[in-house]
Amino acid sequence: MKNTEKYRTVIEPFKIKSVEPIRMTTRQERENILAQAGLNPFMIKSQDVIIDFLTDSGTSAMSAAQWGAIMVGDEAYAGARSFYRFQEKVQDIFGFPIVIPTHQGRAAEKILFSTICGPGKFVPNNTHFDTTRANVEFAGATAVDCLTEEGKDPSLITPFKGNMDLEKLEAVIRERGAENIPVVMLTVTNNSGGGQPVSMKNIRGVSELCRKYDIPFFFDACRFAENAYFIKLREPGYASKTPLEIAREMFSYADGCTMSAKKDALVNMGGFIALRNEEWAQQFRNILIITEGFPTYGGLSGRDLEAIAQGLDEVLDEDYLHYRIISTAYLADHIAELGVPILQPPGGHAVYVDAKAMCPHIPIEQYPGQAIVCGLYLEGGVRAVEIGSVMFGTYDESGKLIPAPLELVRLAIPRRVYTQSHMDYVVEVFEELVRNRDALRGVRIVKEAPVLRHFTAQFEYV
């Protein structure tokens, strides 16, 4: 019995039969590498990274069963067997009858929003992920975030900080007019809000509002399994349900979803749209054929579709989800114990460090998050990413920085890739960093691109 059994150490619920070596580097080497990269970890080669926490997207380890499925992929242009296996699996879990594969999540978003959005339209979401917002805006519409106030307080500990603020959502619908809202989106878990989950009660509430105003309701479903497990752990009435049952109930309240399979389908590439509305599906397939491919492969190989179908099964395994959520919390709790201020409670896929609180001696204009990112790499070859004023900062007319609301460092955890001793190593790196935090130095930007500057910016120490 999983729920009554008392675990000691939560071990990785898998054995390793294929390994990828990590190249160890010395501090001296890392100093040269970081300087060469202009103090920007996006510019570092992965072979020079010891623990890579840059993203959880497309970085999952596939199982033996997934690699096996890859060998039986049917690469027929039309009507491939692999498509039908994929379609059946998505229908079984998500409950939407129509399934359209795409090469990744943003391709699904592009097809959805370019069909239903345009100038004068508004799309509410708990928090838009950056590619979602970009696709809404590229289609001429306005993206509106309606996150619950709880989700905006980094230190507040409540169970569902990813919830939609239902009053705010209804106010937006009334103000803008239901006819100008082609879809309401709900992101599970709320990636840009720290990977925080959404409760079933809130999902039901969003669904009821959408019915009341006759607006379609779609999920951004990237981390649906992690969200389902948080519901099981935290929401009354769900403790004895399986993650599959919970996922089915979540999607039963909606009209469709977009999905990046690079997250909770445990593959390195892929995505899909699933929905109930055949009229929309016809329009989606028209664009799909121009930009992605024929509707039974949509920009993916048959073998990719096989791996997704298999991954969707594995991701709902309770032992896997238990390990996944506990191992993220393990890292979070251990670095919090060292006095590192983190966003609470830890989300499903990542741990966020509050850089402003950790390095009060570094002014915002000297990017404390980037200073910590550099420190993590120098100290232990750990690659993280700044999510603060480097990523979201802008300038006023006089060239003065308008900072982001929060200065965070994100440690995103790839699925099934690292073991507890890797996590212990990262905790030790933090221990050293905390001990020498006064030595962390601010940086200035010496070169930047006009948009999405964080990818390519070059820095130097102040």
Ligand X SMILES: *Cc1c(COP(=O)(O)O)cnc(C)c1O
Q: What is the rounded CA–CA span in Å between residue 105 and residue 260?
A: 4
Q: Is 63 in the site for ligand X (CB under 6 A)?
A: no
Q: Is 66 in the site for ligand X (CB under 6 A)?
A: no
State the minimum distance, in angstroms, from the CB of residue 433 to ligand X.
27
Q: Is 133 in the site for ligand X (CB under 6 A)?
A: no
Residues 6+ apart with CB under 8 A from 140: 117, 118, 119, 120, 121
Residues 6+ apart with CB under 8 A from 16: none
State the minimum distance, in angstroms, from the CB of residue 207 to ligand X.
19
CB contact at 8 A, 331 and 175: no
* Residue nearest ligand X, Cβ-based: 105
Q: Is 390 in the site for ligand X (CB under 6 A)?
A: no
Q: Is 60 in the site for ligand X (CB under 6 A)?
A: no
Nearer to ligand X, 101 or 271 (CB): 271
Helices 81-94 & 302-315 angle (0-180, nearest 10) = 30
- In eight-state DSSP terms, residue 342 is B
Q: Is 132 in the site for ligand X (CB under 6 A)?
A: yes
Specify the stretch interacting with ligand X by CB under 6 A; choose among 13-21, 98-106, 359-367, 450-458.
Answer: 98-106
Nearer to ligand X, 300 or 359 (CB): 300
- Structure tokens that stand for 388 in this block: 């603060």
Specify the stretch interacting with ligand X by CB under 6 A; choose among 126-134, 149-157, 162-170, 415-423.
Answer: 126-134
Q: Is 220 in the site for ligand X (CB under 6 A)?
A: yes
Q: Is 40 in the site for ligand X (CB under 6 A)?
A: no
- In eight-state DSSP terms, residue 107 is H
Q: Is 57 in the site for ligand X (CB under 6 A)?
A: yes
CB contact at 8 A, 125 and 132: yes
First to last CA, the chain: 56
Q: What is the rounded CA–CA span in Å between residue 330 and residue 420?
A: 9
Q: Is 131 in the site for ligand X (CB under 6 A)?
A: yes
- Structure tokens that stand for 342 in this block: 């983190």
C-alpha R_g of the chain: 22
Nearer to ligand X, 63 or 135 (CB): 135
Q: Is 268 in the site for ligand X (CB under 6 A)?
A: no
Q: Where do contacts with ligand X occur on this chain (CB under 6 A)?
A: 57, 104-106, 129, 131-132, 187, 191, 220, 222, 260, 262-263, 271
